[in-house]
Amino acid sequence: GNSVTQMEGPVTLSEEAFLTINCTYTATGYPSLFWYVQYPGEGLQLLLKATKADDKGSNKGFEATYRKETTSFHLEKGSVQVSDSAVYFCALTEGNQAGTALIFGKGTTLS
Amino acid sequence: GAVVSQHPSRVICKSGTSVKIECRSLDFQATTMFWYRQFPKKSLMLMATSNEGSKATYEQGVEKDKFLINHASLTLSTLTVTSAHPEDSSFYICSARDVGDRRSYGYTFGSGTRLTVV
């Protein structure tokens, strides 16, 4: 079945440091890939997405590139801020049918 | 944009009682909604897929008689935790999909319900 593996946290960085959170996936077909963020006490918010190989998703200084050859979608940011402290989830879905759920990784806490 | 309202945000109940959690899509119709459970180490587990007008599809290992899901309209799905026990204490999150929303691929999440069973 489909699954997502992301690096275990917590990740602790100084302000303005470079951030990488690794994410790899297993899928039977051609999934769409997502990063979601959960700030303390809040719900999940979409951070960025990529729907096909070599696509780069970007938002708020975060980037991730869909790498089919390595089945990866690593999240990066060049200079983190205190306000980026949150839990980050990598996720995938296959197809655009209404009944297709998102499958999440275990989440990585950034502080 | 699409908004999903989940209620209540927190609930404390006694062992053996039942608790109902509501999930509403406020500005779009959702033929499908999803229910997740978030464990203390943060992983999100898909519990079931809720289909309007038909029975929910449960993931393997999820007790359908314990976690009753009803999706009676295009904007409302409910999750009822029956005969709750302390091990059911968790954070439950619903998600609805607006397939017409291409910006986010259509997934919108509720803010979650913290259930504590005492």
Please write the tens of the pLDDT for every residue from B10-57: 999 999 999 999 999 998 888 889 999 998 766 789 999 998 888 899
Distance from B49 to chain A by nearest Cα, in Å?
7
Tokens (6 digits) for B34: 């999803």
Given pLDDT bands bounded at 50, 70 and 90, which one contains residue B104?
low
Given pLDDT bands bounded at 50, 70 and 90, which one contains residue B3?
confident
Question: DSSP class of residue A84?
Answer: G
Predicted confidence at residue A97, as pLDDT, reads: 65
- CB distance A99–B93 less than 8 Å? no
What's the rounded Cα separation, in Å, for the pair A68 and B32? Answer: 29
User: What percentage of chain B carries pLDDT values higher than 90?
Assistant: 67
Nearest residue to B15 via CA among B113, B93, B91, B115: B115
Nearest-10 Cα torsion for B68, B107, B111, A73: 110
Given pLDDT bands bounded at 50, 70 and 90, which one contains residue B67?
very high
Distance from B45 to chain A by nearest Cα, in Å?
8
Residue B3 contacts A, CB cutoff 8 Å: no
- CB distance A43–B46 less than 8 Å? no
Of the partner residues B93, B97, B105, the one whose CB lies closest to the CB of residue A43: B93
Predicted confidence at residue B19, as pLDDT, reads: 97
Which residues of chain A are under the pLDDT cut of 70? 95-98
